[in-house]
């Protein structure tokens, strides 16, 4: 595979239009590709335009994925508070870092960074939901306030992004079999699943120093229940697996 093949997708997609994916018939175009060295490995970042909203979704690609089968794939939903600020109210940052590291360790792979803060309700609404939780809402109520529900459009965008990258089949990095079903429904061949398991290390200090309460929710250092904003809980090798949620 040519080193510059990903970059060629911008020209390929310039006039791309298709019937779209999913109920919302979302269609995406590759509009930019750049090198992205990171502390977790060397990647290229691929920017997508879509015909449904102004959100700028990106794929973080390791190695040559085009035309490949069984490509290690992680879908990550944007979380400003977790990913960037290191919030302990959720485990998004740990999951993102683990995803990037795992993908970097594979011959090739991709992290789809989906701009759906708070499961698509947006940053302001997510912070309002946090506020309700601060005022005493229980975790279930907070989950509802956070918009924890199926959003097929997200999987549809992800499915088209994978198609745009000419990925033939994916091994999906998730502990939630439902995600596999949703991608399959949108025409992505899921040839396998990579359990979302991390060995104990400096990056999961959060998990190792927390304990699960009787409802199985992780509690953060400030005593607040830990919300599963990524839709699947992470598993720690050799640690209490109670945090594994079926959501």
| Interaction of residue 82 with Zn ion, rule CB under 5 A | yes
Active-site residue flag, 53: no
Q: Which residues are bridge partners to 114 per DSSP?
A: 77
DSSP 3-state of 198: strand
Q: Which of 83, 91, 94, 151 is catalytic?
A: 151
Shortest Å distance, C-beta 67 to Zn ion: 18
Nearer to Zn ion, 73 or 81 (CB): 81
Tracing tokens 């995803």 back to the chain, one arrives at 99
DSSP 3-state of 204: helix
Shortest Å distance, C-beta 101 to Zn ion: 18
> What is the C-alpha to C-alpha distance for residues 22 and 161, in angstroms, rounded to an integer?
13
Shortest Å distance, C-beta 230 to Zn ion: 7
Nearer to Zn ion, 151 or 229 (CB): 229
> What is the C-alpha to C-alpha distance for residues 127 and 135, in angstroms, rounded to an integer?
12
Nearer to Zn ion, 92 or 167 (CB): 92
Q: Can you tell me which of 154, 182, 220, 229 binds Zn ion, judged by CB under 5 A?
A: 229
Tracing tokens 């940053």 back to the chain, one arrives at 123
> What is the C-alpha to C-alpha distance for residues 181 and 30, in angstroms, rounded to an integer?
25
Q: Which of 89, 115, 153, 171 is catalytic?
A: 153
| Interaction of residue 243 with Zn ion, rule CB under 5 A | no
Q: Can you tell me which of 60, 71, 90, 198 binds Zn ion, judged by CB under 5 A?
A: 90
Active-site residue flag, 151: yes
> What is the C-alpha to C-alpha distance for residues 148 and 232, in angstroms, rounded to an integer?
12
């Amino acid at each position: 595979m040519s080193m510059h093949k990903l970059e060629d997708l911008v020209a390929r997609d310039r006039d791309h239009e298709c019937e779209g994916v999913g109920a919302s018939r979302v269609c995406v175009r590759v509009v930019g590709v750049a090198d992205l060295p990171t502390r977790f490995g060397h990647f290229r970042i691929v920017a997508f335009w879509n015909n449904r909203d102004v959100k700028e979704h990106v794929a973080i690609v390791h190695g040559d994925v085009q035309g490949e089968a069984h490509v290690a794939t992680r879908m990550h939903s944007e979380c400003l508070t977790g990913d960037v600020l290191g919030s302990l109210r959720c485990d998004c940052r740990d999951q993102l870092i683990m995803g990037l590291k795992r993908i970097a360790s594979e011959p090739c792979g991709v992290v789809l960074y989906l701009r759906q803060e708070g499961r698509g309700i947006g940053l302001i609404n997510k912070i309002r939901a946090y506020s309700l939780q601060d005022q005493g809402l229980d975790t279930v109520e907070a989950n509802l306030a956070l918009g924890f529900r199926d959003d097929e459009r997200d999987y549809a965008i992800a499915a088209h992004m994978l198609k745009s990258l000419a990925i033939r089949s994916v091994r999906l990095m998730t502990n939630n079999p439902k995600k596999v079903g949703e991608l399959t429904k949108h025409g992505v061949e899921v040839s396998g699943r990579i359990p979302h398991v991390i060995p104990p290390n400096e990056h999961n200090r959060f998990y190792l120093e927390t304990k699960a309460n009787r409802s199985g929710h992780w509690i953060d250092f400030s005593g607040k229940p830990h919300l599963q904003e990524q839709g699947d809980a992470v598993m720690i090798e050799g640690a209490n697996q109670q945090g594994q949620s079926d959501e």
